[in-house]
Amino acid sequence: MNRCQFVGDHQRRFGVTRLCSMPGISRPSFCYWRRTAAARAARQIAEAGLAARIRKVHQDSDGTYGAPRITAELRDEGERINHKRVARIMWTIGVGGVRLRRRHRTTVADQAAPKAPDLIGRDFTAAAVNTKYAGDITYLPVSGSKPLCLATVIGLASRRLAGWAIADHMRTELVTDALTAAGRTRGSLAGAVMHTDHGSQCTSRAFAEICRSAGVRQSMGAVGSSADTTAVDTARSSHGAVPPPCGRAANDGSNGAASSQSSSDRRFDRSAPTTGIMPHGHHVT
């Protein structure tokens, strides 16, 4: 129990001076505690309300958001708060975000390959659908086997997963299959911008030829900048795009190697879970 609270509870019976001398609290300290009691009560009420809002944002994210993302959500709602306070309250109420697994290196640049210009300029928005896309590759952990590779193509206007391809390798056909799947979804990609990193798959002649035949303009950001695939990373860190069938369903049954598969038209929706979407970091079984 708080010492000042103890004095306050028993002051009528024993007197403030006597009680303050026993626990070693000065009378001025007790008087200050009593004078600020109303302000403390107001803070506790505000803290309880904030804890309820934090819990709701955490639940709406399917338990994936940590302190930085919850802080951003609260700021968007007009709350003036920093991430340290959010982290403290989250620890108090016993909630936490999903921790990303150890990252594998998926971008291996080909220094000799020609580079496309940056047509996005880190503006990951689009006024109309089928005008801007962002692509990336990530690893998917598979229980009892090596990770699979997932290539995604996301529309920047709707944040729709327009196309994807999954395989047990990172060869060029992984990204070409994903772009082809996006073309099947939209019917045509003519005139659209496809923004990627400088990975050797995306700077290859095969990928450039697929883009030319589809009428797609290639775009690449700065070398070594993770911000240039932020749209894909944000969607994947929130939900972990794992399109079915995954892992075992794609295996050939002999040595655990997954054949390349592609699909399209999966939606990233922060408000509700969608088939084929699971929290990032979960194992594919």
* 192-227 tens-digit pLDDT: 999 988 888 888 889 999 999 999 999 987 766 666
Q: pLDDT class for 71, splitting at 50, 70, 90?
A: very high
Question: At which residue do the structure tokens 């016993």 appear?
Answer: 94
Q: Torsion angle of alpha carbons 171, 148, 134, 174, nearest 10°?
A: 30
Residue 90 has pLDDT above 80, yes or no: yes
Domain 132-267 classified CATH 3.40.50.300?
Answer: no
How far from the centroid of its chain's Cα atoms is residue 110's Cα? 28
- The answer to which of 2-11, 141-150, 158-167, 235-244 has the lowest mean pLDDT is 235-244
Query: Could you read off the pLDDT of 134-165 as tens digits, one per residue?
Result: 998 888 888 778 888 999 999 988 888 899 99
Alpha carbon separation from 189 to 101, 185, 192, 211, 229 (Å, rounded): 34, 9, 6, 9, 20
What pLDDT is recorded for position 217?
94
Strands 160-167 and 217-220 come out as: unpaired
d(CA 30, CA 28): 5
Alpha carbon separation from 73 to 46, 207, 241 (Å, rounded): 18, 37, 21
Cα R_g (the chain), whole angstroms: 27
Q: pLDDT class for 109, splitting at 50, 70, 90?
A: low
Q: What is the mean pLDDT of the chain?
A: 75
**Residue 249 CB neighbour total at 10 angstroms:** 11
Helix (H, G, I), strand (E, B) or coil at 212: helix
Q: What is the largest CA-CA distance in the chain?
A: 91
Contact call for residues 218 and 194 (beta carbons, < 8 A): yes
Structural tokens at position 159: 């944040």
End-to-end CA distance of the chain: 50
Domain parsing of the chain, residue ranges: 1-35, 41-97, 132-267
User: How much is the pTM?
Assistant: 0.49
Q: pLDDT class for 229, splitting at 50, 70, 90?
A: low
Cis peptide before 279 (omega within 30 of 0): no
How far from the centroid of its chain's Cα atoms is residue 125's Cα? 17
Q: pLDDT class for 228, splitting at 50, 70, 90?
A: low
The predicted model gives 262-267 an average pLDDT of 42
What pLDDT is recorded for position 259?
41
